[in-house]
C-alpha cells in the first residue's frame, strides 16, 4: 500500500495538535485542512477497517451494492457461491468504472468501454477478440482487484485496503463482546429497512463522529426542540448530568459505546420478549450486564456505539403516534468527501423477523427524529458546519477548543469492578473518549499502525 | 347551450386553473414561513412522503423506494414539525433560510372518487445567510387534493426527487 510522504512542517503541526489534545484542547484547523484530508485518505482510510454494507443488502447470489471507502468506489457482491466479496469498482483493463448502479442483482458485470466481463465472483470471463488481439489473455491474472481484506461480523461487512494490518477480530477487539446487544435481539437478527438516506454537508466526518462518541452534553440544549414538541420520552433534566437517561461509557477495542439504565420490564419500547431472546444468546457475564449492569443495579440498554473511524449507531426511541414509545436504530457512516465536507449515509436497522407494523412504526419514529429530515439531526448539521467553517479561517483555525469536561476526575470515573471487557466509565459527561478518538486518528496520520492508544491519564491543571 | 365535449374541456381548464392558484398560494405560505396557515391546508388523513431514490439497474424495480423515505408523515408528525419551527429552539432555521418553490407543468384530473389527482414539477431553492451557493432540489409532485369548493386540502403528496444523494445539509423545510 502506498505511503505518502509527510513534510516536516505538517508533522510538526500534527505533533503540536497531539500535545494539545492530550492536554484537553483541540485545534480547530484539524476539521478543515487540505493536508489533513490528504493524509486521512492516504494513511487512515487505506489502513483502517471501514464499514461497507450490511449483509441483508445482499440477499441473493449476484446481489451487489456500490459503496465507498473515503473516495474509493467499492463493489460489494454476493457471489454465486454465497460468499460476500469486495472489489475495487474498476475494470482491470483501462480503469473505467465497472458498475454505475447503487444496488441490484447481476450475474455478470460488463465494462461499458471495451466490454470486458466479470462474474459475480470477480473473475474475468469475457474479453472481445481475445485471441486476435492478445493471442489469448491470462484471465486469471486480470480478475477484479479485491480489497486486501474483507470480513462479515454479525451482519456488518467491513473492508480494509491494507494487507498488512491485523484482521477484523483483532481490530474490533473487545467490542465484539458488546455487539450482540444490538444484533442478537431476535432469532433472525438485524436487517436494513430499505436503502440508506444519503446527503452531503459541509462538515468534517470527525466532528460528527465525536458527537456520537461522547457528546451527551449537547442533547438538552442543541436538541431542546424535540423535548419541547414532546418527541422524546424524557425531559432535558433526565438528560442532564446524573439524570436517568445518561449512564455508562465503555471504550472497547475500536469502539466507544454508551449504555443507559433500563428499568426492569422495559426495553426502549421494544417488545419485552426481545430481551428474552437476547438473553438466551448471551453468556452469563453478558446477561449480568444486561440485567444488572447499571450503576443502580438496574439493567442496561446500549443506546449508541461508534466504531473507528467513521461508523456510528444510535438506538433510541420517540413518541410519534398514540403516545407510544417507538424505538429505532440508525446506523450511519460519515464519509469524508474533502476538507470539511462529508456525505452522510444513514440506514434504519430493524429486526428482520419483527412484524411489518413494528418496522413501519420504527421508520416513522426514526424519520421524525433523525436522518435527513429528522428534527434532532437538522440542528446538528448547522452546528457542525460552523465549526468546520471556522476551522478553515486564519483566526478560527487557531482557536483551541476546550475538551476538558470532567478531566479533573477521570480516574474516579473508571469502574474498577466492571465485569465486561474494555474500560467502563460512570458517566457520559466527559471528553476523554473524544481525546482518545483523536489520538487514534493521529496515530494513523503520523506513523505506523495503531496498537493500543495511550490515552491521556491526567490532565495537568 | 354549451356542447358536452366543450363543457368537459372548460371544466378541466377551470380545475387546472383553481389547482394552479392553490399551488401558488401554498408556495407563498411556505416561502413566507406562515406554517400554521399552511398546516390548515393539510387534510386530517394526510399522507406526505418523499421516498429515497437510488440508481438501480434498469428493469430491477422502481428507483423510488417504497420502504425508506426522507419524509413519511401524517398530520400528527407534520404538526410536530411545525410546532418545532414555531418554537424557539429550531436552530437549523435560525436565522431562517430563504426558500423558493417553482411549481410548473401542472396537470389536474378529477378522479372517479371525487378527489383531484395532480402531477406537477417542482424546483426548490434555498439560500442561507450570506452563502452564495444555492441548495437545490428538483422532482415531481404527485398530489391528491380534496375539493372544498372555495379551496382544496392536501390529502396526499409524494415528491419523487431527481436527487439520490441530497445536496441539502438537512431537510428543515417542506417540499
**CA distance to A51, A122, A346, A450, B85, per residue, from A63 (Å):** 18, 13, 20, 34, 42
pLDDT attached to residue A242: 75
User: Which chain B residue shows the shortest CA-CA distance from A318?
Assistant: B77
Task: Name the band, by pLDDT with cuts 50, 70 and 90, for residue A94.
Answer: very high
Total-model pTM: 0.95
Average pLDDT over residues A145-162: 97
Task: Name the band, by pLDDT with cuts 50, 70 and 90, for residue A164.
Answer: very high
Task: Name the band, by pLDDT with cuts 50, 70 and 90, for residue A459.
Answer: very low
pLDDT attached to residue A429: 92
pLDDT attached to residue A352: 94
On whether any CB of chain B is under 8 Å from the CB of A12, the answer is no
Query: A147 to chain B, minimum CA–CA distance in Å?
Result: 23
pLDDT tens figures, A125-140 = 999 999 999 999 999 9
Nearest to A436 by CA among A24, A13, A12, A49: A24
Taking the C-alpha atoms of residue A185 and residue A204, their distance in angstroms, rounded to an integer, is 33
- Cα-Cα end-to-end distance for chain A: 42
Query: B67 to chain A, minimum CA–CA distance in Å?
Result: 5
Which residues of chain A does B93 touch, with a Cβ-Cβ cutoff of 8 Å?
A: 378
Taking the C-alpha atoms of residue A152 and residue A52, their distance in angstroms, rounded to an integer, is 10
- Tell if the CB–CB gap between B52 and A104 is shorter than 8 Å: no
DSSP letter at B56?
A: B
Taking the C-alpha atoms of residue A387 and residue A97, their distance in angstroms, rounded to an integer, is 35
On whether any CB of chain B is under 8 Å from the CB of A71, the answer is no
Interface test with A, best of B54, B170, B171, B173 (most A CBs within 10 A): B170
On whether any CB of chain B is under 8 Å from the CB of A202, the answer is yes
- The verdict on whether omega for the bond into residue A200 sits within 30 degrees of 0, i.e. cis, is no
Residues of B with CB under 8 A from a CB of A: 50, 52, 54-57, 60, 65-74, 76-77, 80-81, 83-84, 87-93, 164-172
Which residues of chain B does A383 touch, with a Cβ-Cβ cutoff of 8 Å?
A: 91
Report residues of chain B scoring pLDDT below 50: none
The ipTM estimated for the assembled molecules is 0.95
- Tell if the CB–CB gap between A198 and B164 is shorter than 8 Å: yes
Taking the C-alpha atoms of residue A392 and residue A39, their distance in angstroms, rounded to an integer, is 17
On whether any CB of chain B is under 8 Å from the CB of A106, the answer is yes
Count of A–B CB contacts within 8 Å?
130
Q: Mark B117-139 as b/e (b = at least 16 C-beta within 10 Å).
A: ebebebebebebeeeeeebebeb
On whether any CB of chain B is under 8 Å from the CB of A75, the answer is no
Taking the C-alpha atoms of residue A90 and residue A104, their distance in angstroms, rounded to an integer, is 17
User: Which chain A residue shows the shortest CA-CA distance from B175?
Assistant: A373
Task: Name the band, by pLDDT with cuts 50, 70 and 90, for residue A454.
Answer: low
- Tell if the CB–CB gap between A373 and B170 is shorter than 8 Å: yes
Nearest to B156 by CA among B128, B119, B105: B119
Task: Name the band, by pLDDT with cuts 50, 70 and 90, for residue A458.
Answer: very low
User: Which chain A residue shows the shortest CA-CA distance from B167?
Assistant: A200
Average pLDDT over residues A202-211: 98
On whether any CB of chain B is under 8 Å from the CB of A232, the answer is no
CA atoms within 13 A on the CB side of A176: 10
Taking the C-alpha atoms of residue A150 and residue A50, their distance in angstroms, rounded to an integer, is 9
SS3 B118: strand
Average pLDDT over residues A174-200: 96
Q: Which residues contact A37 (CB under 8 A, 6 or more apart)?
A: A336, A338, A339
pLDDT attached to residue A87: 98
**CA distance to A183, A276, B122, B123, B126, per residue, from B102 (Å):** 45, 53, 6, 5, 12
Query: B105 to chain A, minimum CA–CA distance in Å?
Result: 27
By Cβ distance, the residue of A193, A229, A378 closest to B87 is A229
Interface test with B, best of A221, A373, A377 (most B CBs within 10 A): A373
Nearest to A129 by CA among A96, A98, A93: A93
On whether any CB of chain B is under 8 Å from the CB of A362, the answer is no
Q: Which residues contact A114 (CB under 8 A, 6 or more apart)?
A: A91, A93, A94, A128
On whether any CB of chain B is under 8 Å from the CB of A385, the answer is yes
pLDDT tens figures, A217-256 = 998 899 999 999 989 877 878 878 877 677 899 999 999 9
Which residues of chain A does B92 touch, with a Cβ-Cβ cutoff of 8 Å?
A: 378-379, 381-382
pLDDT attached to residue A455: 52
- Tell if the CB–CB gap between A194 and B55 is shorter than 8 Å: no
On whether any CB of chain B is under 8 Å from the CB of A39, the answer is no
pLDDT tens figures, A95-123 = 999 999 999 999 999 999 999 999 999 99
- Tell if the CB–CB gap between B55 and A379 is shorter than 8 Å: no
Which of A61-65, A259-263, B44-48 is predicted least confidently? A259-263
Query: B151 to chain A, minimum CA–CA distance in Å?
Result: 29
Quick one: cell of A383? Answer: 452546528
* pLDDT of residue A150 exceeding 80: yes
- Tell if the CB–CB gap between A103 and B56 is shorter than 8 Å: yes
**A236 versus A399: which is more confidently predicted?**
A399
pLDDT attached to residue A273: 82
Average pLDDT over residues A361-367: 96
- The verdict on whether omega for the bond into residue B6 sits within 30 degrees of 0, i.e. cis, is no
Which residues of chain A does B77 touch, with a Cβ-Cβ cutoff of 8 Å?
A: 320-321, 364, 368
What average pLDDT does the structure give for chain A? 92
pLDDT tens figures, A303-324 = 999 999 999 999 999 998 877 8
- Tell if the CB–CB gap between A378 and B171 is shorter than 8 Å: yes
pLDDT attached to residue A450: 46
**A273 versus B76: which is more confidently predicted?**
B76
Q: Which residues contact A457 (CB under 8 A, 6 or more apart)?
A: A410, A411
On whether any CB of chain B is under 8 Å from the CB of A296, the answer is no
pLDDT tens figures, A433-450 = 999 999 999 999 997 544
Query: A366 to chain B, minimum CA–CA distance in Å?
Result: 10
Interface test with B, best of A196, A342, A372, A380 (most B CBs within 10 A): A372
By Cβ distance, the residue of B50, B52, B165 closest to A200 is B165
- Tell if the CB–CB gap between B57 and A101 is shorter than 8 Å: yes
User: Which chain A residue shows the shortest CA-CA distance from B52?
Assistant: A197
| Pairing state between β B152-161 and B42-53 | parallel
Amino acid at each position: 500500500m502506498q505511503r505518502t510522504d509527510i513534510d516536516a512542517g505538517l508533522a510538526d503541526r500534527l505533533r503540536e495538535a497531539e500535545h494539545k489534545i492530550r492536554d484537553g484542547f483541540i485545534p480547530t484547523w484539524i476539521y478543515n485542512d487540505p493536508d489533513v484530508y490528504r493524509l486521512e485518505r492516504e494513511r487512515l482510510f487505506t489502513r483502517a477497517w471501514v464499514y461497507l454494507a450490511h449483509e441483508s443488502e445482499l440477499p441473493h447470489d449476484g446481489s451487489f451494492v456500490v459503496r465507498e471507502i473515503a473516495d474509493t468506489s467499492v463493489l460489494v457482491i454476493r457471489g454465486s457461491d454465497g460468499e460476500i466479496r469486495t472489489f475495487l469498482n474498476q475494470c482491470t483493463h483501462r480503469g473505467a468504472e465497472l458498475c454505475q448502479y447503487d444496488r441490484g442483482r447481476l450475474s455478470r458485470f460488463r465494462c461499458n468501454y471495451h466490454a470486458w466481463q466479470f462474474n459475480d465472483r470477480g473473475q474475468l470471463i469475457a474479453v472481445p477478440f481475445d485471441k486476435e488481439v492478445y493471442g489469448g489473455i491470462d484471465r486469471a491474472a486480470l480478475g477484479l482487484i479485491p480489497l486486501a481484506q474483507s470480513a462479515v461480523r454479525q451482519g456488518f461487512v467491513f473492508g480494509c485496503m491494507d494487507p498488512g494490518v491485523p484482521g477484523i477480530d483483532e481490530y474490533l477487539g473487545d467490542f465484539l463482546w458488546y455487539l450482540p446487544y444490538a444484533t442478537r435481539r431476535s432469532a433472525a437478527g438485524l436487517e436494513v429497512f430499505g436503502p440508506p438516506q444519503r446527503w452531503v454537508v459541509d462538515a468534517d466526518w470527525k466532528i460528527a463522529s465525536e458527537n456520537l462518541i461522547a457528546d451527551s452534553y449537547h442533547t438538552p440544549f442543541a436538541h431542546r426542540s424535540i423535548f419541547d414538541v414532546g418527541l422524546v420520552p424524557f425531559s432535558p433534566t433526565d438528560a442532564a448530568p446524573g439524570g436517568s437517561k445518561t449512564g455508562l461509557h465503555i471504550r472497547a477495542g475500536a469502539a466507544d459505546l454508551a449504555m443507559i439504565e433500563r428499568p426492569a420490564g422495559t426495553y426502549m419500547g421494544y417488545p419485552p420478549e426481545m430481551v428474552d431472546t437476547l438473553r438466551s444468546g448471551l453468556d452469563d457475564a453478558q446477561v449480568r450486564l444486561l440485567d444488572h449492569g447499571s450503576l443502580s443495579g438496574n439493567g442496561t440498554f446500549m443506546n449508541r456505539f461508534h466504531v473507528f473511524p467513521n461508523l456510528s449507531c444510535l438506538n433510541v426511541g420517540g413518541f410519534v403516534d398514540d403516545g407510544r414509545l417507538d424505538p429505532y436504530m440508525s446506523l450511519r457512516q460519515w464519509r469524508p468527501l474533502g476538507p470539511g465536507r462529508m456525505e452522510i449515509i444513514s440506514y434504519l436497522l430493524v429486526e428482520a423477523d419483527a412484524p411489518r407494523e413494528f418496522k413501519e412504526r420504527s421508520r416513522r419514529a426514526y424519520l421524525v427524529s433523525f436522518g435527513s429530515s429528522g428534527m434532532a439531526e437538522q440542528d446538528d448539521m448547522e452546528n457542525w458546519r460552523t465549526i468546520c467553517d471556522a476551522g478553515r479561517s486564519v483566526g478560527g483555525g487557531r482557536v483551541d477548543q476546550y475538551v476538558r469536561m470532567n478531566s479533573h476526575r477521570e480516574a474516579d470515573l473508571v469502574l474498577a469492578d466492571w465485569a465486561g471487557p474494555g474500560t467502563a466509565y460512570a458517566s457520559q459527561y466527559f471528553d476523554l473518549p473524544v481525546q482518545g478518538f483523536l489520538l487514534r486518528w493521529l496515530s494513523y496520520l503520523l506513523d505506523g499502525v495503531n496498537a493500543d492508544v495511550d490515552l491521556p491519564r491526567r490532565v495537568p491543571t | 347551450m354549451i356542447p358536452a365535449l366543450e363543457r368537459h374541456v372548460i371544466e378541466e381548464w377551470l380545475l387546472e386553473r383553481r389547482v394552479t392558484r392553490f399551488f401558488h398560494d401554498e408556495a407563498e405560505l411556505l416561502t413566507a414561513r406562515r406554517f400554521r396557515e399552511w398546516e390548515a391546508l393539510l387534510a386530517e388523513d394526510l399522507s406526505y412522503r418523499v421516498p429515497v431514490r437510488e440508481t438501480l439497474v434498469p428493469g430491477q424495480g422502481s428507483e423510488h423506494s417504497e420502504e425508506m423515505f426522507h419524509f413519511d408523515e401524517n398530520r400528527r408528525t407534520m404538526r410536530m414539525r411545525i410546532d418545532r419551527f414555531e418554537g424557539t429552539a429550531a436552530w437549523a432555521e435560525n436565522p431562517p433560510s430563504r426558500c423558493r418553490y417553482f411549481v410548473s407543468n401542472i396537470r389536474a384530473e378529477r378522479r372517479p372518487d371525487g378527489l383531484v389527482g395532480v402531477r406537477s414539477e417542482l424546483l426548490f431553492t434555498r439560500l442561507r445567510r450570506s452563502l452564495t451557493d444555492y441548495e437545490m432540489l428538483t422532482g415531481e409532485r404527485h398530489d391528491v387534493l380534496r375539493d372544498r369548493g372555495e379551496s382544496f386540502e392536501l390529502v396526499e403528496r409524494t415528491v419523487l426527487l431527481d436527487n439520490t444523494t441530497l445536496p441539502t445539509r438537512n431537510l428543515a423545510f417542506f417540499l
